[in-house]
Each structure stands twice: as structure tokens, then as C-alpha cells.
Chain A
Amino acid sequence: MRLNELSPGTKAFVKKVHARGMISQRLRDFGFFPGVEVKVLRCSPLKDPVEFLVESNFVSIRHEEAHCVEVAE
């Protein structure tokens, strides 16, 4: 399952980040590492992007980028 498929209010664990270069760097900066819990907080009024809570970081990500993160419930 991918991160963009989760709906607000749900939680999941990061399995793997399927990306390289800048995007994977950005995701790592905010703590998207295997085993870390991610909570979906809310989505924007226009649906995209979505705000997540990763450990103690509040991050908003577009669907497009969230698709790179493989998660498991």
C-alpha cells in the first residue's frame, strides 16, 4: 500500500521509500524511515496535498510524492 491511499485519521508504518535523489532526501529530512509511524492528519480543501504527522514532524506532501512511500498498517 502507498501513503497517498490512506485517508485522514488513519495510521501506518513506513516500509520503504521508492524514490531517489532530491525527493528521497526531502522525505528523509522529515523522518520517513522504515519502521516509523505516520499519521494522516488532514487533506487540503482541494484534496491535495495532505498533511502527515511523522514522529513529531508536521509535513504536507502532494499525492504524487506520497505515492513514493510504501506503507503497511
Chain B
Amino acid sequence: MAGSGELVVALAGQPNCGKSTVFNMITGGRQHVANYPGVTVDIKEGIISSEGKRIRVADLPGTYGLSSFSNEERVARNFILYQKPHLVVNVVDTSNIKRHLYLTLQLLEMGAPVVLNLNMTDVADARGVQVDPKILGERLGVPVVTSVASQGKGKRELRRILKTLRAPEPRIIPYGTLEPFILRIQEKLERACPDWIFPLRWSAVKLLEQDETLLAELARRGEAGEEVRQLANSLAEDFRKEHDEDPEGHIAFSRHLAAKELAEGCVVATKSTTKTLTDRIDSVVLNRGLSLFWLAGVIYLLYELAIVKGYELTAYTWPYLAGFRSWVASLLPPAHFYSEPLLRALTLSVVDAVLSVLNYVPIFLILFACIAILEDSGYMPRMAFILDRLFRKFGLHGQSTLPLILGGVFVGGCAVPGVMATRVISDEQARLATILVVPLMNCMAKIPLYTLLVNVYFADHKGFAMFFISTITIIVALMAAKILTLTVLRSKERSPFVMEMPPYHLPTFFGVGTRTVERTWLFVKKVGTIIMLVAIVIYGLTSFPGLSGGVRQSFEDQERTLKNAFLQEIAGNPAGKPFTEDSRAIDALITYWDSYQNGIKQVSSKEEKKAFLEEYKKQDPDFFAVLLPGRDKDAKAVQGAFKTLLSERGTLQRSYKEKVISSSLLGRLGISLEPITRWAGFDWKVNVSLLSALAAKENTVATLGALYQPEEGQEGAALEERMESQAKGFTQLHALALMIFMALYPPCIATLIMVRLEAGKKGTRWMLLSLLFPICLGFLFASGIFTLGSLFQVTGLQAMGIFYALALAGALVLSRIEPREHKNAYGMEGR
């Protein structure tokens, strides 16, 4: 990669050194996530040009060291080893220089062309730590640049230094008693593998540390490599025996001493620090009595800002989206009397699906901004600190807090950002468990069905029913997480909980802004495109194979009857003359009416409305008279008859739709599932609406609406009333079973795609698991409630209470189960 006249610069540093702020400052926000084969951790890249030179800046993941234990460390190290950047800018938190030099020394040891960036000197000043860059530069033998990236200070110097070319020269760190061992491996390696491209001494040290990457390199060299490996192993064993110490421990300690010596040589402490500001904040924020209170406040604020306020914002943005839909609709061939042309129906269903995602953009902008602020401020690790104990009992991790909140712990979240946020969880087992249970939370799209059912069937106990549904999900999710970690996730890697509590920071507007836009765009791009495809598939499944000739004929007959009734009604009326003369004019009037209805919605000002009406009058004065008869009695009579026709047409359209759905592939599936779903009390109508909800849960209520047609005298009745009167056999117990199933419903397509992306290796398998296990779990609970409930003749409300108590008890029992080989999970107490 290095070469071709382009300079490659890597930014390396420990977490919380302000590296991404430095990256933003250097690249000015023009950045993208680069794709490197086999890399699961994102590497961001920005390209800048300076005096005709193209410089590609790669932001490596923040790492404490360069071992091959964690994914981040492997990625960062392999980038330096294999991509061979021209320069490695090592960003360092000046206020905590000793720990950060620990990484610097490792970079230098592997021969990376390092430039040191002393960042956050303002924080250091406040803490009374001053570092002399000149002395440090001389001792390290590398150029040193100071900066305060959060204030944009040091930008020019940093950009200038990017062009310095440095010859890589490995630094020698004294390893004391380990030296003879290193020397022997080094000699052996040089003889056995003459084509070895990495610095020899560094390689010898790494082999003593049992470094995976280098062991793999050796394995590639066959027998010669095997000899070196064996020697390194036996020497490591010898050292262990002689010195009662692990070589890796000795190596780390030597580096630590070297870093300490360096730091002591160049740090001038101006005042002795007693308590840092962060420590003082933490004594309030993490106060044992108050911390849960603060946490609840933060969660509440997150909901209030993103979900509540964001939802209010969509009221302002929706008209634009609706306007776009009307505009598209006006371009498409007009609807027929009771059906729609394929092109129109298909295009509109795709547009609707995409708009349903775009509608959430305001919510996501606020949500992602809030997360970025939480991340940058340093509160995230505190959340993990507060709740870790609780989550760990169920196989999750303190860092699962945020993903679960985003998924909608109580009511109103979205699983997509929830799954995205699992990335920070360092424990692989807990991360996968969190990915799998986040979709069980109550996302915004599940709410309409809850509201519908609660309003119809639990009207007298709304408060309890809402409390039930918003807390049962987290209880079930914790149980599910525990069961998953005890079974399918049992063998997944667990990592120790050793987490830095970084100093608090004031987030920068620029940092928060870029990340917000970036993540929202990623969401829209990924989800939007997939949703389009899914909408087409769902359309196909709900429309084909279509109706038989006989049924179609009966609809045509009904159309004719309705039109004849209209004609009879207006017979002899002079205003109805165009229609009695040529009955095709009825269709033209309907099209005219539809297009008028569509157009008038987009008219806002008085002048516009006037012009709009003028235009329609000019188009066809006869139709216009029916549209707005004014005081014309004849025209008024025609309008009356026409309105009756329209309402009859509406009924015919809906019953046509119902017929099409019920004879479609999805409808047939819904009907054929009835024998099984009967256990849970679901009829085919519920089945179809649940199946269509797979694409997006918003569909549930819409499909139910299409299936529960208004009956005679019920036109305009809300779906609540229609369900109540038509679904006679549908009881509270049915409603409860349906609500429970919905609560545990498998993730929507958008979430499934995120699950596949975030799960990493074998993502497709995890995606399928996250699709299937909630179906099983939900169906098990729903049929349990319905079948047992019917058997013992309890009401839905009683069943609700019993189920809640059982779930609580189940969770309590599960929390007591200790996974096997828990204690010795990381080889502690070893030798």
C-alpha cells in the first residue's frame, strides 16, 4: 500500500488520548471507513493533500499495547507490520504520559517510524504536569509536536510534520536477565529464516510472549519455523524455572520501567495533585446512594430528547415526505375503480417502505448525537460500572446498558442503533448475547399494536397493562441472555473486566456532529436500500398469484351495479348529463377527484389554493361543478350521489384487497399456519399481519386494518371499534397472547442486517438464530398463556399477573446459576 507517490500515515494511541479529535483536526472531517480484508474493527481514513502530495491518514483503533490478545491490538499492529505506513503519529495524553509512553516504546521497538504528538497539554497544565518536548524528543530520538486538538491548537505543526520521512530504526529496551534468552532466539531466527522481514530483536521478544501473529508467520516457514518455535518455547520455560516469573511479565515490567525512567526525565510537576476534577465529579456521580438516581436521569433525558422530542420533530418532517409520495403518485398511472395498476401499487409500496425508514431520521439524528455526547464525555464506562453486577448475573456485561436502552428497555427505542452500539462490549460472549436480546426490547414500531390492544381489551387497567408490557420484556430478555450464554454461547471467549475510567471531557461540537451525521447516513444507506428490496418481495408475496377469473368477474359485476345505481340516482339531472351520456365519464371523474385530493394536500397558501382551483376549473368545468357545487342545487345532488359512490367504492377496494391478501402466498401461509397458531389463539388474519410485520413491525396494525374491514354502518369507525365488534371470539386472553408474541417478535429485516454485520464471523448464522429463537420463545409463551389460560378459565388480566410473577421467579432462579468453569476462566491462579 505504501508507495505509488502517496504517503500513508497511521495515527496510533491508547484509548482516551484524544486521537479521533486529532484525526478530525488533521483531515478536517473528510473521512470514510476503509475496508481492509479480514479486519472487523473499523479503520477510518481521511485523505488530505498538501503541496501536491496526497497523504492518506489512517486512524488505527485505540490500544493500550501491541500484543495480539485483543482484536483492536491485532488490527493496529498488523496495519503497521504489513501496510508499512511512512509515518506513525503516536498521540499521547500528556497528563498521563507514563502510561502512554508504554505504547510508544512498543511502537519504537518494532521499528515504526514514529512521531510523537503530546496532546491534551491543557489538561496536563490543569493537573500540574508539564512535559518538556525537547528533552523527550532527544531521549526518544523522535520528533515531538504538542497540541490541544479539542481547541484546534497544533494543527499546522501536525500537518507539516506528516511529510517528514523517517527511516525506521528499532529502539532497544534493556530486558536485564532475559537478554541472553532473547539473543539466542534472535540468532536462531536469523539463521533459520533468512527471509524474515520483521526486526529480529523485536521478533525474538514477541516470540517469548507467545505472540499469535508471529507464531503464524513461523508456521508458514515449515520446518525451519518450527525449530525456532520450539527453541522459543523451551527458552521461555527455562526462564520461568530460573526466575520464577513469566517472560511476558518480565518483558512488560521492563518496558514499564523504561517508560517510567523516560517520563521522570522530562516531566516537571508544577503542583502536587491532590484530587483531579474527574475524581471530584465521580465522588458525586458514582456516589453509592446517588449513582442510580443520576443514571435514571440520564436514561430519562435520552428518551425524552430522542424518542419524545424526536417523534415530535417527525410531525414537521413528515409533510415533506408525504408531499414526495403525492408527487410520485401523481406521476403514476391512476387507480382503477377497485384495484390499482401493478406499476402504481408496486412503486407506492416501495416508496412507503423507504419513507417509513426516512421518517425516523430526526429521531436518529438526536439519538446518535446523544450517544456521541455520552461517549465523548466519558460517562459510558460509568454506566457499565454501575450496572455490571446486575447484567453479569445474566451473562451480559455492564457495557450492555446502552444497547439495551437504545433498543427500548421500557418503551420506544429502535433495535438498529441498539445492535450497532454493542460494538463497544469487550467481552465476546456478552457482546453476542446482547446482540441477540436487544431485539426483544420494545421498539417504537411495536407500540401501535400494544396501544390498539390495550385500548380495546385492557381499557380499565391501562396503567397496569402498560407497566406489564414495558417491564416484562427486560425480564424475559435477561432470562433469554442467561439461557443463551449457558447454551449456544457457552464456548465463546470471555474477557476480563478491567476497564479504564477515563477523565471527563467536554464533547466538541465538531466531533459530535461528524459522528452523528456519519452514523445516520450509514443507517439510511444500509437500511434504506435493503428495505426497498424487501418491500418488493413482500408486495409479491401479498399480491400473487392473484384472484381467479370468477372472483374477478364478481368484482366487476359489483362495480357495474354501483355505477348503475349512481346513474339512476342522477337520471334527469342536468348537472349529471356528462355521465348519463357517456358512463366512461364516471371513471374520468374518479381520476379527476383522486388527483384533486392528492394535489390539494400540498397547497399551503391562499394564493396557491386560488390558482390550484382555477386550474382544476379550467381542466373540466363540468367535473369541477360536482367537486365544488356551491349553491347549484343540481350539482349538489350529483355530488351527493357521487359521494355515496365513492364510499361504496372504498368498501369494494378494501374487500378486494382482503381477497387478494387471503388468496396470496402470504395469506395461504397464514391460513395453513392456523392449526399451529391456534394454540396461541391467532387466527389467519393475525398470522398474516404478523408475517407482514417481518419486513417492518409498523405493518402489523396496517395489515390488521386492511383485514378488519368496516362493516355496514361502520364506515369511518376506528380499527379499535371494528376489532371489538367483528372479532367476537377475541378475548383479553387472545390480546395478551398476541402482545407477548409481539414483545418477543423476531427483529425486523433492518435489524437482522445489523445483527449479521455486527456479529462478525459467521454473521449469517447469528442472524438466523436471532430470527428463530424469538419466534420459538414468543410462540412458547403465547401458546402457554392462551392454552393454559383457556383451560383454567382465567381472565387476561389474571394471566398477566401470573405470567409476570412466573417470569420474575424464573429470572431469579436463572441469576443463581453459575456457568461451569467460571472461576478459572482466564487461567488465573495458574502455576
Residues of A within 8 A of B (CB): 17-31, 33-34, 41-49, 51, 55-62, 64-65, 67-68
B98 touches A25 (CB 8 A): no
Known: A57-B96, A60-B381. A48 touches B495 (CB 8 A): no
Which of B69, B392, B501 sits near A22, CB closer than 8 Å? B69
CA–CA, A25 to B13, complex, Å? 17
CB distance from A5 to the nearest CB of B (A): 16
Which of B99, B102, B385 sits near A49, CB closer than 8 Å? B385
Please give, as numbers and ranges, the residues of chain B lying within 8 Å of A57 by CB-CB distance: 96, 99, 500
CB distance from A13 to the nearest CB of B (A): 15
A sample of 19 more A-B contacts (CB under 8 A), given A30-B99, A30-B500, A68-B828, is A18-B829, A20-B828, A23-B826, A27-B498, A28-B249, A28-B253, A31-B98, A31-B256, A41-B282, A42-B282, A43-B288, A44-B388, A45-B289, A48-B389, A49-B398, A49-B497, A51-B282, A59-B501, A65-B497
A19 touches B826 (CB 8 A): yes
Q: Is B827 an interface residue (CB 8 A)?
A: yes
Q: Is B312 an interface residue (CB 8 A)?
A: no
Please give, as numbers and ranges, the residues of chain A lying within 8 Å of B248 by CB-CB distance: 24-25
Please give, as numbers and ranges, the residues of chain B lying within 8 Å of A27 by CB-CB distance: 498
B497 touches A62 (CB 8 A): yes
0/1 interface trace, chain B 470-502, chain A, CB 8 Å (1 if under) = 000000000000000000000000011111111
**Which residue of A has the minimal Cβ distance to B289?**
A45
19 pairs, A vs B, C-beta closer than 8 Å:
A19-B826, A20-B828, A22-B69, A23-B498, A23-B827, A23-B828, A25-B252, A26-B495, A26-B496, A41-B282, A44-B388, A46-B390, A47-B389, A51-B286, A56-B99, A57-B96, A60-B381, A65-B498, A65-B826
B249 touches A58 (CB 8 A): no
CA–CA, A2 to B292, complex, Å? 28
**Which residue of A has the minimal Cβ distance to B830?**
A20
A41 touches B99 (CB 8 A): no
B window 379-395: CB within 8 A of A: 381, 385-390, 392
CA–CA, A26 to B288, complex, Å? 26
Which of B99, B288, B831 sits near A31, CB closer than 8 Å? B99
CA–CA, A68 to B499, complex, Å? 15
0/1 interface trace, chain B 278-318, chain A, CB 8 Å (1 if under) = 11001100101101100000000000000000000000000
CA–CA, A61 to B503, complex, Å? 17
B252 touches A28 (CB 8 A): yes
Please give, as numbers and ranges, the residues of chain B lying within 8 Å of A55 by CB-CB distance: 98-99
Q: How many A-B residue pairs have CB under 8 A?
A: 141
Please give, as numbers and ranges, the residues of chain A lying within 8 Å of B498 by CB-CB distance: 23, 26-27, 29-30, 59-61, 65
Please give, as numbers and ranges, the residues of chain A lying within 8 Å of B503 by CB-CB distance: 58
Please give, as numbers and ranges, the residues of chain A lying within 8 Å of B608 by CB-CB distance: none
**Which residue of B has the minimal Cβ distance to A36?**
B256
Known: A31-B99, A56-B99, A59-B500. A46 touches B830 (CB 8 A): no
Which of B385, B502, B828 sits near A44, CB closer than 8 Å? B385
B501 touches A44 (CB 8 A): no
B501 touches A58 (CB 8 A): yes
A23 touches B385 (CB 8 A): no
CA–CA, A68 to B825, complex, Å? 12
B826 touches A60 (CB 8 A): no
CA–CA, A55 to B495, complex, Å? 24
Which of A18, A19, A24, A33 sits near B256, CB closer than 8 Å? A33
CB distance from B388 to the nearest CB of A (A): 6
B385 touches A20 (CB 8 A): no
CB distance from A23 to the nearest CB of B (A): 4
B497 touches A25 (CB 8 A): no
CA–CA, A48 to B401, complex, Å? 16
Known: A30-B99, A59-B501, A65-B497. A21 touches B386 (CB 8 A): no
Please give, as numbers and ranges, the residues of chain A lying within 8 Å of B827 by CB-CB distance: 19-21, 23
CB distance from A16 to the nearest CB of B (A): 9
Please give, as numbers and ranges, the residues of chain B lying within 8 Å of A42 by CB-CB distance: 282-283, 286, 288
Please give, as numbers and ranges, the residues of chain B lying within 8 Å of A33 by CB-CB distance: 252-253, 256
CA–CA, A72 to B749, complex, Å? 56
**Which residue of A has the minimal Cβ distance to B293?**
A45
B window 541-581: CB within 8 A of A: none
CA–CA, A45 to B830, complex, Å? 31
B286 touches A56 (CB 8 A): no
B496 touches A65 (CB 8 A): yes
CA–CA, A58 to B387, complex, Å? 18
**Which residue of A has the minimal Cβ distance to B387?**
A46
B253 touches A25 (CB 8 A): no
Q: Is B64 an interface residue (CB 8 A)?
A: yes
B window 388-420: CB within 8 A of A: 388-390, 392, 398
B288 touches A58 (CB 8 A): no
Q: Is B246 an interface residue (CB 8 A)?
A: yes
0/1 interface trace, chain B 31-67, chain A, CB 8 Å (1 if under) = 0000000000000000000000000000000001101
Which of B98, B252, B502 sits near A58, CB closer than 8 Å? B502
